[in-house]
Structure 1
């Protein structure tokens, strides 16, 4: 076969050489038999080993050795310019921000050291699959191995079911298409005989193609206006009826098959623009930062930057971060120079050269006092201020989109501050400058009134982009990213975006078998570009890697599958691959996985000499070329659809076989167990949160507190009737083994202090209310009288500890009342214990992100309806608004 570029598909052609390109190695166009004896120009179906699950818990140490490069006889390597800029940094520390709100692929997967045989580790992964470990496995490792085998068997079963489903769906669609081609007379005859067309395949048709019977009639045969009026008159339709009908249409857009088609998103659009943050208020003259112990005076521009840092001294994980300090101080000194410098109390110039000599505590204390003062405002004053704020923001909260009122999401322009970033962002601490009207572009209807900019200012531009769903935009100064004002999450437009995303994933289930079959064959292709393409699709499908550069050039320094560099992939025989790179939003992605032996061989070939650090592994493949290839299977199919499909299809399969019983808490745990299994099977995992241990300790203390309360109630039963001990047995009244006397005394002290704080807060709140109503404040003596209850509680605990007896307390206490209290308490203990078990099991999995971003929300709704669990147990109020379309569009029989 000729190696000429003319014979190579577009994806395999070389890019024109430039001066820089000469420094980067390019893979051979063809893979010879000597390089890979299994090479096939016309690939046959090959045996395909299932990839292992994630075994990522551990970073490669300095002892990791790359496999020797395979000798190959192929055409000489040519050169091309690398898409990336610098080698990816590997020094990122553990992110301290909350993991729950991050997308699964952003979760760092690191640990202190690489594990070969970790059977004795408390932090051992759920699965440990080191086949090459020579050491004898402990019983724990054997259990992990067994668990791994079960999960792999389940994954194999799910993939086989997906293959069968895809074939069945295509057959059903083919049969449906044949029926449509049948003579019209037959169709009429069938209708005349009262035989309804089979709808058995309807469950596999995306909702966008479904039309409820009643709505379909309206959509296909619109009635003349005169007929509508004639029908409306006898009904005496009221304005309330019309308004109700409009509301019904507004939130049931998902039943309209034409909604969202085409590129025009709106016809008319009206809104009031954005709200700017208030201007900077200079600090009082007596509040100044100090430099080397001396108070200094700064111009307002520089003082504002100092206040950014000073006001957040309590955020230690930021202000104590060396990168944050360095970036802040660099920008701060520039602002000082530009604004005329710093001066001491005598007016002499002061050179600010050392961050260590800067003291921002006076600024922090001022802002902290202001925060406390605001917190202590009377309830009536807080209510008044909130009402004023709401009144001021009301005109910006909604827009008119095609004549309908829609809620706007983020209508406030971001205030100037210090950039924090996610993970260990290299620009953390830099100054986010104030956004001015001259930077903002407004998007609005041609006939609508353009919002008036602040006095003395003008907008950068006014557009009438009917293909855009944004209302305003500007470019921020840190990363050069564009910020958009969009509609709220519960608006029609946002809902349609989510809906289309999950519908596309549903569509993929018709084609997944052909895609998997083709990439398995392509793993042995002779043409390098084809082999790289097949390997990339394999990694994206099996390990949920992003394609790379999905967000455009503004994230060029981050890495995805197609833009992996030589140093981002480490190979460990026989078939383990370690991925280590900066992914989306500069969050480190680390995972250790077992792959198909042919994929392992391919990656070795893609890395062979003369490639070195900085060179791309998939150098004959681009994200756009990969997505173009995928679109041949299904219009609009891109790499990111696989993540959604795999998670949703896996959850749907598990849901079919699920038989959840018991209490609500037990059912919620069943759902979370399935969600966790999805994350494991789809390789969506995360590092254990730094605060997990302390959270579990607090939860454990709460459970122990309930057990102590349970013991006291049983002792009260003995106080009422000592004979009950013989009836129920002595063991029933014994102290729980998890409680000891030292813990009990600490817990009693906690309960005493808790009651004291409650009484004090109630006293302060009552006084605020009296002042608001024009009455006199209560005197301190009233508080002292109320606190007598605390002294009584303390004395009671001392007496109980001494006598080992608990007196029955409460008005009209009876044995029946105590037993009812015990019953309720037992339920609380059981629920909280399930909660603790769930939390421990989920420490390596972020279920929230999986549930929101990857699993079709309609599957959660199906679980909720099928097993009678309130949807509030799975979706917060915000999420219920976001997924309103999902909650209202399906019943318990819906299938993904």
Structure 2
């Protein structure tokens, strides 16, 4: 680790071609020589996320990246009218799929920014979220100007906060003043030493303290009748404690919700609990061997395997449908190596006569029979009667009930991930080098239990014992073991809606709120140091610029050879950055979870010059760009401005402060509910764009938009039919309302109408058949005879009648009035309701189209303070359920309850 007192300790061992310790004026001028005459795009935004062309002034291609593959065109579907979910509130960033039995809850602040797949992110120009304008100003320029304006407002607010704090301190008698650095204006850092970092004790006037534990309780808050600007929130006056809906009430537990945000601060923050009781973990069921007629084949011969090896063969065979995995050469290689080892360890493979078979060629393996077996089991499981499924679920819930909750300091708290993950093949995210490796079955002998001293230790499965039992009240995990693939430790933690998790979220956002007091000084300092003569200082300033402006992760150094080659800002290598004059930087590297981060950014000219200098010959592929900087050094420097400040706090601050700034500008009016929801999403979308929270357009986006379009057209067709029914009742209406009122819309041609009518007929038929099947299932459960086939035939007559009605309407161009006692007044009211539904869907369509390239979930769930969403909900009278799913309402219950009905709270 590099020391902060001497340049001699800079980690130059990481680079075979280190940067010079200092920068001469002549070297600085040299970087200006290749400046292009081309007009640079505005700094601070992504100008285009796509394949880089050959017009590179510095590097010919970005990291040898292959060109973007054209998205498969989606054929036009005549009518797609099914109801679809219009919200992904509960979905993690970019709708990431989670493992069925996830054993570790990820830190929400570490959620990836880019969409978790290998495709290239979208262009910012294709997602217009700012106000439309008739001028020719590019969207990129508008966003850059907006971002600059927001940063200027942030600087102004920071100065005002410090000025107010200084006045308050001056007006308070010296005896009453507490030594709290949080409320004191910070002095500008003194000139750095050779490595650019002064000691934490002196720099910026902030006393160096240990970083706060994310699980430590928060500070006690003072009760106040109403929250003030910039102050920590207090519960609404008269707010009642509410019962947690998510808690299991089967035991008649009527305890009130624990409002930890009102609780006094513990004397010892390091103590997490004084009493802890739980029932351990739930292990997956034992392996069920394949039927004797289902075999793995090698070179055409059926293979007999030991149960352990057969189970591993089943892992691969059951996922033949997942071609992106089983056809991946790395996946195949890792699986085959592990498979051969297990075969050897378990006595080898044999043919039908018991003779050994030497399995040494993966291509000769045939898993087809195994795949067909598991596919048939899956289909049979789906086809079971509802009653059988219900009974199985009840049995499963009963088995899991004892593990779902624990007693934490006498409170009932939900456990988040009590199931031990079953054995399988490791898939990983992105281009993980260990994809396909066998994840071995976790045994009780590998599991360590953490529990209170006086509590009863949960018994391990019969015939087994725990690895260890400990009573560490400074830890928040209940059980722990080490997995075999990456050697990572897996922890059983409390659920997202628990006290511990809520406190961690609260502290994360409070830390980001504190950053707003210092952000102007930090930005001013790193901007000045972009021109520092000390290489270490210049590298640190450049890294801080990239982290602040583009939400890059700081990155950590790798400790093992087999760990995925993922990088962050501080660990970027020569080949990860391509420069294009005059100020475009192309990043192409594997980020968190081995997800490819590919993006083009327009940067400040000085930053471009610095990166050019950091890549200067003789540096080459494999050399570090920031070879005089580490993540720990960067975070140590940041902590000199504010206790506990690290690089990742900037992502939370930038998202929350921007959202707060946008919401303050909104005016309350009487617009319809759908428009209010879209207004919130528009602000959320702008935050996502400004913070570069983007995603690739999903493969099914066009099809989904087409379905939504067909739903809108279907409602328009229904509205037209309703108007025609009005004419059927009163032909004089055509003269009164005008012929135009009764005309078919321009987007509804006869061909589409006929296709839509067929869809409606088929939909009606499906409904009748499903109802018939459901009635028979109900009769079977009651042990009564099933309905005869002629009953179905009788019910299907309504389908034939509907089909005949449409044919007649198409021929006569008239529609007979339907319903009980139809009147012109009733039909007019129906038309108005249809108009409202059409407008709502059109708003949803525009919203979804705007969101296609922006990861709203990433911002809303992980980076925007949830209290801002609650304030918007209160201010615009929109139920918070419109923004937070049930899962998120449980997770952010502390925010909902602490803000109460207040609509003035500010970040």
TM-score range, shorter chain: 0.7 to 0.9
1:575 to 583, 594, 603: 583
Separation in structure 1 between the aligned mates of residue 652 and residue 698 of structure 2, nearest angstrom: 25
Separation in structure 2 between the aligned mates of residue 570 and residue 614 of structure 1, nearest angstrom: 14
Separation in structure 2 between the aligned mates of residue 211 and residue 824 of structure 1, nearest angstrom: 40
Question: Does the residue aligned with 1:60 lie in a helix, a strand or coil?
Answer: coil
Residue 125 (structure 1) shift: 3.7
Question: Does the residue aligned with 1:767 lie in a helix, a strand or coil?
Answer: helix
Quick check: 717-726 or 403-412, which moved more?
A: 717-726
Separation in structure 1 between the aligned mates of residue 288 and residue 712 of structure 2, nearest angstrom: 49
Alignment of 1:99-110 (within 5 A): 100-102=94-96, 103-107=111-115
Separation in structure 1 between the aligned mates of residue 424 and residue 267 of structure 2, nearest angstrom: 38
Higher RCO structure (Cα 8 Å, ≥6 apart): 2
Aligned partners of 1:419 and 1:429 also within 8 Å: yes
Aligned partners of 2:50 and 2:120 also within 8 Å: yes
Partner residue, 2:539: 532
Judged with a 3 Å threshold, the aligned counterparts in structure 2 of structure 1 residues 794 and 200 are, in CA distance, closer, same or farther, namely: closer
Q: Provide Cα deviations, 1:472-516, integer angstroms capped at 9, x if missing partner.
A: 111222222221111001000000010000000000000101111
Partner residue, 2:842: 833
Judged with a 3 Å threshold, the aligned counterparts in structure 2 of structure 1 residues 881 and 803 are, in CA distance, closer, same or farther, namely: same
1:655 to 663, 668, 684: 663
Partner residue, 1:667: 676
Residue 816 (structure 1) shift: 2.0
2:567 to 559, 569, 578: 559
1:856 to 860, 865, 878: 865
Separation in structure 1 between the aligned mates of residue 286 and residue 223 of structure 2, nearest angstrom: 67
Q: Provide Cα deviations, 1:351-400, integer angstroms capped at 9, x if missing partner.
A: 44454444433333332333333333333333322222222111111111
Judged with a 3 Å threshold, the aligned counterparts in structure 2 of structure 1 residues 784 and 213 are, in CA distance, closer, same or farther, namely: closer
Partner residue, 1:190: none
Instruction: Count the aligned residue pairs.
Output: 801
Aligned partners of 2:278 and 2:458 also within 8 Å: yes
Partner residue, 2:209: none
Partner residue, 1:31: 23
Larger helix share, 1 or 2: 1
2:886 to 874, 877, 880: 877
Partner residue, 1:419: 426
Aligned partners of 1:271 and 1:451 also within 8 Å: yes
Quick check: 55-64 or 612-621, which moved more?
A: 55-64
Question: Does the residue aligned with 1:591 lie in a helix, a strand or coil?
Answer: strand
Alignment of 1:358-437 (within 5 A): 358-437=365-444
Residue 435 (structure 1) shift: 1.0
Q: For structure 2, list consecutive stretches of 5 or more residues without a partner in the other structure.
A: 32-39, 73-90, 97-110, 177-221, 240-252
Q: Provide Cα deviations, 1:282-330, integer angstroms capped at 9, x if missing partner.
A: 1122223444555433221222122222323343443344443443334
Alignment of 1:436-835 (within 5 A): 436-549=443-556, 557-659=565-667, 661=669, 662-835=671-844
Q: Provide Cα deviations, 1:819-865, integer angstroms capped at 9, x if missing partner.
A: 22222221111111111111111111010111001111111111111
Separation in structure 2 between the aligned mates of residue 91 and residue 146 of structure 1, nearest angstrom: 28
Alignment of 1:302-341 (within 5 A): 302-341=309-348
1:842 to 851, 860, 883: 851
Aligned partners of 2:122 and 2:695 also within 8 Å: no
Aligned partners of 1:25 and 1:615 also within 8 Å: yes
Quick check: 376-385 or 804-813, which moved more?
A: 376-385
Residue 438 (structure 1) shift: 1.6
Question: Does the residue aligned with 1:539 lie in a helix, a strand or coil?
Answer: helix
Aligned partners of 2:318 and 2:370 also within 8 Å: yes
Quick check: 585-594 or 748-757, which moved more?
A: 748-757
Question: Does the residue aligned with 2:480 lie in a helix, a strand or coil?
Answer: strand
Separation in structure 2 between the aligned mates of residue 126 and residue 679 of structure 1, nearest angstrom: 11
Judged with a 3 Å threshold, the aligned counterparts in structure 2 of structure 1 residues 197 and 451 are, in CA distance, closer, same or farther, namely: closer
Residue 58 (structure 1) shift: 1.6
TM-score (norm 1): 0.83
Residue 659 (structure 1) shift: 2.1
Separation in structure 2 between the aligned mates of residue 320 and residue 728 of structure 1, nearest angstrom: 64
Judged with a 3 Å threshold, the aligned counterparts in structure 2 of structure 1 residues 856 and 792 are, in CA distance, closer, same or farther, namely: same
Separation in structure 1 between the aligned mates of residue 67 and residue 567 of structure 2, nearest angstrom: 15
Separation in structure 2 between the aligned mates of residue 305 and residue 364 of structure 1, nearest angstrom: 13
Separation in structure 2 between the aligned mates of residue 744 and residue 213 of structure 1, nearest angstrom: 57
2:44 to 45, 48, 52: 52
Residue 260 (structure 1) shift: 9.5
2:8 to 13, 35, 45: 13
TM-score (norm 2): 0.82
Judged with a 3 Å threshold, the aligned counterparts in structure 2 of structure 1 residues 142 and 609 are, in CA distance, closer, same or farther, namely: farther
Question: Does the residue aligned with 1:755 lie in a helix, a strand or coil?
Answer: helix
Quick check: 404-413 or 309-318, which moved more?
A: 309-318
Judged with a 3 Å threshold, the aligned counterparts in structure 2 of structure 1 residues 344 and 787 are, in CA distance, closer, same or farther, namely: farther
